[in-house]
Amino acid sequence: MAKVKTHYEDCDILVVGGGMAGTGATFEARHWGRDLKIVCVEKANIDRSGAVAQGLYAINCYMGMQWDENQPEDHVRYARNDLMGLVREDLGYDMARHVDSAVHMFEEWGLPMMKDEKTGRYLREGKWQIMIHGESYKPIVAEAAKKSADKIYNRIMVTHLLMDESKENRVGGAVGFNMRTGDYYVFRAKTVIVAAGGASHIFKPRAVGEGMGRTWYAPWSNGSAYALPIAVGAKMTQMENRIVLCRFKDGYGPVGAYFLHLKTYTQNANGENYEKKWYEHTKKLVGEYIDHHPVPTCLRNHAFIQETIAGGGPIHMVTTEAFQDPHLETVGWENFLGMTVGQAVVWASQNIDPKYTNPELTTSEPYVMGSHATCSGAWVSGPEDLSPPEYFWGYNRMLTVDGLFGAGDTVGGSAHKFSSGSFTEGRLAAKAAVKYIQDQKAEGINVTDKQCDDFRETIYKPLENYTVGQNEITGGTVSPSYILPIQGLQRLQKIMDEYVGGITSNYMTNGNMLKRGLELLEWLQEDLENVGAEDYHQLMRAWELKHRTLTSQCVTEHTMFREETRWPGYYYRGDHLKLDDENWHCLTVSRRDPKTGKFTLEKVPVYHIVDEKEKKQAS
């Protein structure tokens, strides 16, 4: 076993991941838990970590209740519509009723907001989005977290959750290692809030080889948010609901400001509005959902994908009209400079000036996340005042493991939270975690040294594998004794791509493909016992891979379970090509048995709380 130094940290609230949700949780934990010890552990450095690392140009979730622009009910209806009927409305409503206050704090903390000169209100990009000069968004929220925490640990990857050995199904902390020093860290905690972001790179990306890091979702989002809870038997929901994004080709530059503010539009290679062409076809698959307004994101993707398969590509964004207006031209460029500089570089390298050339669009490889136009993640308790009994077990945003909370991409069922909603959900989770401690639910937690020592053995095994096996080869990277993290990652991506509905098959899969995919994933899991890491950075890659693989197994199990095509444009079940409301207007919930590694799945009713409330009031 590698000789590493072990550090112990005992705390009340441990926040895993210092992105949007993690900074929100750290900040709010201090507000309610003045005397509590609050620690945040981050894989990178919270000043520039997570999906918002580079900055954003818009806050995508702001109600504007102070001006009666929108109410939380409106947002619930919007998210429900976009997700083809299936969201946790209690969670969505709860986030929406609090999100404005979080945004107001961002402004107080110095985030430059764009204002409408005439009204003085925040400048709207769309119904839910407000525009910001957001290059420094992340450092600003990080500062609030730094001032609130007892300690922030940067450069530590959390690999496992610790479990209480005196009470079944109760969390006891987490362990991880410092990627720079290699030191082992044990965090014994009364509550843990997992806020570790979504998962990219589980499906083969469009950009491979030297361009591999170019994905839409942050390449460092490695599914820890799912793998950590799955490994200890927490239930997950809607993991089949992976997301595919329509974005500018090769740079994945965002299209929101273009559609909403610049009023650009798309067309096929012949200059036609192709979306109309696929209306009847889509109606046969999903019925009246295609008539909803706005058209759900997946259905717009569906038209794009079908048009491309039919030979109508490439699909272009028509920018040449809007860019004649100097103001809109500036907005178009600034949109990238504050958020996705890479897109501007790609255009420059390909001689594309959007004033004169309409740039190409693409559909991305699938990602797994819980905060965007999708809602994969953990099955959590909702708030006391809103949730029906099946959705409530004592503490808001607590997973089905006692003392374990989640926020942001971690939490399933609540789509369209984005940056502000994820921060808000972190606040909600932290408030509940403080209450859990104050209610003395975390008394008598026992985490033995043996548990911590066993994890240390497990965590550093890839270094051992490499050290022992490296002398068997004299050159190259192919060894009979270990696989390197990059080799394992490419194998994972190939399985997910070919069998679980990635780009190679135009997002198509079926029961037989999924069955085979599950078999291959199981064998990959076996081989990951022999992953080899040559240094601490590769050790991180090894654990990222392990987390991605566990997440992928869960995604595949869920995709197998739901025998319908609920979100054409995100993926297709070729053996069940139609949306089937009669049998599948429900949420899917899974649990992996930590002892056997087997998944069980169930259907859970979806409650339309907002309209029920209104119906009751009317009657």
Ligand X SMILES: Cc1cc2nc3c(=O)[nH]c(=O)nc-3n(C[C@H](O)[C@H](O)[C@H](O)COP(=O)(O)OP(=O)(O)OC[C@H]3O[C@@H](n4cnc5c(N)ncnc54)[C@H](O)[C@@H]3O)c2cc1C
- Residues near ligand X (CB under 6 A) are 16-22, 41-44, 49-52, 56-61, 157-158, 195-197, 216-218, 220-222, 224, 254, 371-372, 408-409, 418-420, 422
Query: In the complex, what is the shortest distance from the CB of residue 419 to ligand X, in angstroms, rounded to a whole number?
Result: 3
Comparison of 20 and 503: residue with beta carbon closer to ligand X: 20
Comparison of 58 and 290: residue with beta carbon closer to ligand X: 58
Query: In the complex, what is the shortest distance from the CB of residue 137 to ligand X, in angstroms, rounded to a whole number?
Result: 9
Instruction: With CA atoms as reference, report the closest residue to 395 among 443, 351, 428.
Output: 428
**Cβ–Cβ under 8 Å, residues 242 and 570:** yes
Query: In the complex, what is the shortest distance from the CB of residue 24 to ligand X, in angstroms, rounded to a whole number?
Result: 8
Instruction: With CA atoms as reference, report the closest residue to 549 among 516, 570, 523.
Output: 523
Comparison of 122 and 274: residue with beta carbon closer to ligand X: 122
Query: In the complex, what is the shortest distance from the CB of residue 433 to ligand X, in angstroms, rounded to a whole number?
Result: 16
- Residue 15: CB atoms within 10 A of its CB come to 35
Query: In the complex, what is the shortest distance from the CB of residue 613 to ligand X, in angstroms, rounded to a whole number?
Result: 27
Query: In the complex, what is the shortest distance from the CB of residue 539 to ligand X, in angstroms, rounded to a whole number?
Result: 12
198 token code pair = 């979504």
Comparison of 108 and 288: residue with beta carbon closer to ligand X: 108
Query: In the complex, what is the shortest distance from the CB of residue 565 to ligand X, in angstroms, rounded to a whole number?
Result: 26
- Residue 77: CB atoms within 10 A of its CB come to 16
In sequence order, the 6+-apart residues with CB closer than 8 A to the CB of 50 are 17, 18, 19, 20, 22, 44, 138, 197, 218, 221
Residue closest to ligand X, measured at CB? 19
Contacts 24+ apart (CB under 8 A), 286-290: 286/84, 286/568, 286/578, 286/579, 287/579, 287/581, 289/84, 289/85, 289/579
Comparison of 372 and 541: residue with beta carbon closer to ligand X: 372
User: Helix (H, G, I), strand (E, B), or coil: what is residue 471?
Assistant: helix
> Measured between alpha carbons, how far is 392 from 379 in angstroms, rounded to an integer?
10
Q: CB-based burial of residue 224 (10 Å sphere; 0-12 exposed, 13-18 middle, 19+ buried)?
A: buried
Instruction: With CA atoms as reference, report the closest residue to 249 among 341, 344, 359, 367.
Output: 359
**Cβ–Cβ under 8 Å, residues 206 and 504:** no
Look up residue 373 and give its DSSP letter.
S
Query: In the complex, what is the shortest distance from the CB of residue 583 to ligand X, in angstroms, rounded to a whole number?
Result: 31
Comparison of 197 and 382: residue with beta carbon closer to ligand X: 197
The DSSP-derived string for 246-278 is: EEETTT----HHHHHTS--EEE-TTS--HHHHT
Whole-angstrom CA distances from 446 to 150, 501, 577, 585 are: 23, 43, 50, 42
Query: In the complex, what is the shortest distance from the CB of residue 541 to ligand X, in angstroms, rounded to a whole number?
Result: 12
Comparison of 195 and 555: residue with beta carbon closer to ligand X: 195
602 token code pair = 């169930």
In sequence order, the 6+-apart residues with CB closer than 8 A to the CB of 610 are 73, 76, 77, 80, 89, 93
Q: CB-based burial of residue 481 (10 Å sphere; 0-12 exposed, 13-18 middle, 19+ buried)?
A: middle
Comparison of 25 and 295: residue with beta carbon closer to ligand X: 25
Query: In the complex, what is the shortest distance from the CB of residue 416 to ligand X, in angstroms, rounded to a whole number?
Result: 9
In the chain the first and final C-alpha atoms are separated, in Å, by 69
Query: In the complex, what is the shortest distance from the CB of residue 517 to ligand X, in angstroms, rounded to a whole number?
Result: 24
Comparison of 22 and 366: residue with beta carbon closer to ligand X: 22
Query: In the complex, what is the shortest distance from the CB of residue 150 to ligand X, in angstroms, rounded to a whole number?
Result: 17
- Residue 527: CB atoms within 10 A of its CB come to 14
Angle of the 137-148 helix axis to the 89-108 helix axis, nearest 10? 90
Comparison of 43 and 591: residue with beta carbon closer to ligand X: 43
> Measured between alpha carbons, how far is 344 from 348 in angstroms, rounded to an integer?
6
Query: In the complex, what is the shortest distance from the CB of residue 173 to ligand X, in angstroms, rounded to a whole number?
Result: 13
Find the Cα–Cα–Cα–Cα dihedral 61, 62, 63, 66, rounded to 10°: 170
